[in-house]
């Protein structure tokens, strides 16, 4: 496994719609998936999408462990999502303060569907259904956005932007109160 360099905002690969993965090509993408897992763990994000390492394929990993830089997020076991399709999204929304490994030192408030059902393939090509809510549903929406060339800055009110330091200083407490019930 290799820790890959993470592409930052401005690289056109982050703005493309990533390509569907065919079942036939999945075996040749296993090393990429391992590298995505390793790179996410090294960077401490909650997830990582293939375009963020310069590969325009519809593959992302989500994993929240004790070492992520989001100490309040509920733990999520390693989940590899290939060709995700949002099957159901609640009309009820939750405003989630997010960061992104491709947007260094920036955070912003993004409206996300509170509940979400996602159909996807796992790394072996087996169909899976994930039912998600709260901050975890937000994490999945963030990663799926990457596969559609979307970044959190497209959905956030720019007036909510902050650095990580200013989030800790001025916004963390109010945010955690707002999303109480969806944090660990």
Residues annotated catalytic, as ranges: 143
Number of residues that bind Ni ion (CB under 5 A): 1
Candidates 10-18, 66-74, 76-84, 97-105: pick the segment binding Ni ion (CB under 5 A): 97-105
User: Measured from the CB of residue 47, what is the shortest distance to Ni ion in angstroms?
Assistant: 7
**Residue nearest Ni ion by beta-carbon distance:** 100
CA pair distance 2, 77, nearest whole angstrom: 20
36 near Ni ion (CB under 5 A): no
- Residue-wise over 19-54: b if at least 16 C-beta within 10 A, else e? eebeeeebeebeebbebbbbbbbeeebbbbbbbbbe
Candidates 55-63, 96-104, 105-113, 173-181: pick the segment binding Ni ion (CB under 5 A): 96-104
Q: Considering only residues 45-74, where is the footprint of Ni ion by CB under 5 A?
A: none
CA pair distance 126, 173, nearest whole angstrom: 41
9 in Cβ contact with 151 (< 8 Å): yes
**134 or 138, CB closer to Ni ion?**
138
Binding mask 106-145 for Ni ion (x = CB under 5 A): ----------------------------------------
CA pair distance 114, 55, nearest whole angstrom: 29
User: Measured from the CB of residue 184, what is the shortest distance to Ni ion in angstroms?
Assistant: 21
**98 or 121, CB closer to Ni ion?**
98
Give, in order, the Cα–Cα distances in Å from 89 to each of 44, 51, 73, 134, 159.
Answer: 27, 24, 20, 12, 26
100 near Ni ion (CB under 5 A): yes
Contact set with Ni ion (CB under 5 A): 100
């Amino acid at each position: 496994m290799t820790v890959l360099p993470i592409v930052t905002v401005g690289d056109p690969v982050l703005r493309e719609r990533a390509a569907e993965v065919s079942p036939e090509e999945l075996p040749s993408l296993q090393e990429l998936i391992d590298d995505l897992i390793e790179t996410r763990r090294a960077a401490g994000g909650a997830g990582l999408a293939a375009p963020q390492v310069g590969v325009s394929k519809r593959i992302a990993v989500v994993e929240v462990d004790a070492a992520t830089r989001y100490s309040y997020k509920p733990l999520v076991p390693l989940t590899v999502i290939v060709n995700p399709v949002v099957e159901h999204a609640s009309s009820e929304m939750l405003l989630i303060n997010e960061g992104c490994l491709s947007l260094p030192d920036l955070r912003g408030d993004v409206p996300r569907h509170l509940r979400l059902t996602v159909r996807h393939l796992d790394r072996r090509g087996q169909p899976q259904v994930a039912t998600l809510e709260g901050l975890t549903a937000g994490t999945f929406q963030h990663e799926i956005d990457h596969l559609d060339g979307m970044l959190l800055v497209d959905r956030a009110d720019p007036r909510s932007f902050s650095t990580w330091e200013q989030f800790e200083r001025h916004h963390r407490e109010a945010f955690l109160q707002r999303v109480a019930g969806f944090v660990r």
